[in-house]
Each structure stands twice: as structure tokens, then as C-alpha cells.
Amino acid sequence: MKINWFKYAAPVSFYSLAGKLIPFFWLATIVLIPLGLYLGFFTTPDTLGNGMKEYYRIIYVHVAASWMAMWLYAVMVGWALIGLIFNTRLSYMMASATAFTGIIMNVIALATGAIWGKTSWGTWWDWDPKLTSFLILLFVYIGYLALQSAIEDTRRSDKASALLALVGLVLVPVIYYAVNCPDPTQCASLHQESSLERVDPSILKAMLVTTLGFWMYSFATILMRVRNIILQREQTTSWVSKLQEINQ
């Protein structure tokens, strides 16, 4: 069987496919996130093992959002790269749709991290390598969207912002190594290392379920946004004017 991989690269077919997928992603979101939080609040010990008391429960949203902010950046760059290589319009639209959800995740990570920092370090913010590089990641996300809206010609703005996203990719390993420092004597990091292997399995399970829920949430919002972008960019085409939602 020959599969036409480029069929859904056409905005017209992707628009309807996305519309069909969105409800399933929302369903998965509203099942997985509450389930993860339930597991996290009711089936886990009251301390994190390293002396952190009950405030460690912020971990469920903090870690999930931080992971998403980094992964979504990689996803965004992936779409931008596909766009640059194959020159497919939809890939650029996907990259652009991913950026804003990445920003939401980044802001959640920073805000919940600040609240956690206040309890465990006694300060809302510190210019620690991890925190600083995460803040820069937020600025790169914002810069990407700002550059895109600053250039009026869509083709140019797509290409220019895709290049910016590509350059910003260097930040992801920087953030990773800022936490998982290869040589601890060389890094003065306040943010603790990610020590998943030392965490109680019940906490880890709750964290993974919540993170999966965050993935589903990201898919749902990205697809909703890409549908808006497709409509805006293709509004003069005949397939848009034949859409049911336009004619009712």
C-alpha cells in the first residue's frame, strides 16, 4: 500500500483532520491531568525523600510544564526545519502554533518554580544557571513570535523566524546541563539536579501521568491554534468559502 505522506501537508485536508482530532485530545487531557494530580496528592508520601516537605507537590505541574516548554521548543524547531527543507506552508503554521503553547508552559514553569523556590530556598528568584537559561528560552519564544509578526510578507516571516528558532535550539542542551551538571564541582547551581531515579516510584508515576496529560493538552491547543492560523492565511481560497462553518 502506498501512503501519500504529503496528503495532510495540504492545509485543506489538515484543517478537517485537526478538527476531528481535537475532541479526543481534550478528552485525554481531562482524564489524565486530574488522574495524575489525584495520584500525586493521595497516593504519595508527604516528603520527597531529600527532606522536602509537602510543598514538593508543586512538582507535578512544575516538572510537567518545564519538560513541555523544552520539548515543545524542539517540536517547534522540527516543524521549522521541515518547512525550510520541503517548503511546506503547513509546517510553518505548525511551528508558529506550537510557540504560544510553549510560552504558556514556560510561564507556568517559571511561576510555579518561583513559588517552590520561595518555600525551599526562601527566594522567588535567583540568577541560577537553570533559571536564567529558562528565562532566556522564554525570551527566544517571544522573539520568535515577535519576528514573525514584524515581517508582513508571510513567506519571509516564516523563513526568518524558522532560522531564529533553529539558532535558539542551542538553549535546550544548555538548560539540560545546567541541571544535570557533568561535574558538580564546576557548577554552582541552586536548582537541584533532576534525580528521577531517587524519587519514590509512586511520585514518579503521578508525575508521568500528569506530563502525559500536559502533552495531550499541548496537542489540543496547538491544533486549535493551527486551525485558526489556516483560516486566517487561506481565507481567500475557495475551500474556505465552502466550509460549513462559514456558510451557516
Partner 1 sequence: MNAFFSMGGFGAYVWSAMAVAAFLMVMEPVMLMIKRRTVLQTIKRARRFAERRQHHSHKEVNDETQK
Binding site for partner 1 (CB under 8 A): 37, 41, 46, 53-55, 57-58, 61-62, 65, 100-101, 104, 107-108, 111-112, 115-116, 118-119, 217, 220-221, 224-225, 227-228, 231-232, 235, 240-241, 245-246
Q: Which is nearer to partner 1, 82 or 103 (CB)?
A: 103
Least distance (Å) from partner 1 to the CB of residue 218?
10
Least distance (Å) from partner 1 to the CB of residue 147?
21
3-state SS record for 115-142? HHHHHHCCCCCCCCHHHHHHHHHHHHHH
Q: Which is nearer to partner 1, 59 or 84 (CB)?
A: 59
Q: Which is nearer to partner 1, 118 or 155 (CB)?
A: 118
Q: Which is nearer to partner 1, 7 or 53 (CB)?
A: 53
Least distance (Å) from partner 1 to the CB of residue 163?
27
Q: Which is nearer to partner 1, 62 or 130 (CB)?
A: 62
Least distance (Å) from partner 1 to the CB of residue 87?
25
Least distance (Å) from partner 1 to the CB of residue 103?
10
Closest-CA residue to 195 (of 75, 65, 52): 52
Residues in Cβ contact with 130 at an 8 Å cutoff, skipping those fewer than 6 apart: 175, 178, 179, 189, 190, 191
190: left (phi over 0), alpha (psi -120 to 50) or beta: alpha
156: left (phi over 0), alpha (psi -120 to 50) or beta: alpha
Q: Which is nearer to partner 1, 71 or 84 (CB)?
A: 71
Least distance (Å) from partner 1 to the CB of residue 109?
9
Closest-CA residue to 228 (of 218, 238, 217, 240): 240
Residues in Cβ contact with 23 at an 8 Å cutoff, skipping those fewer than 6 apart: none
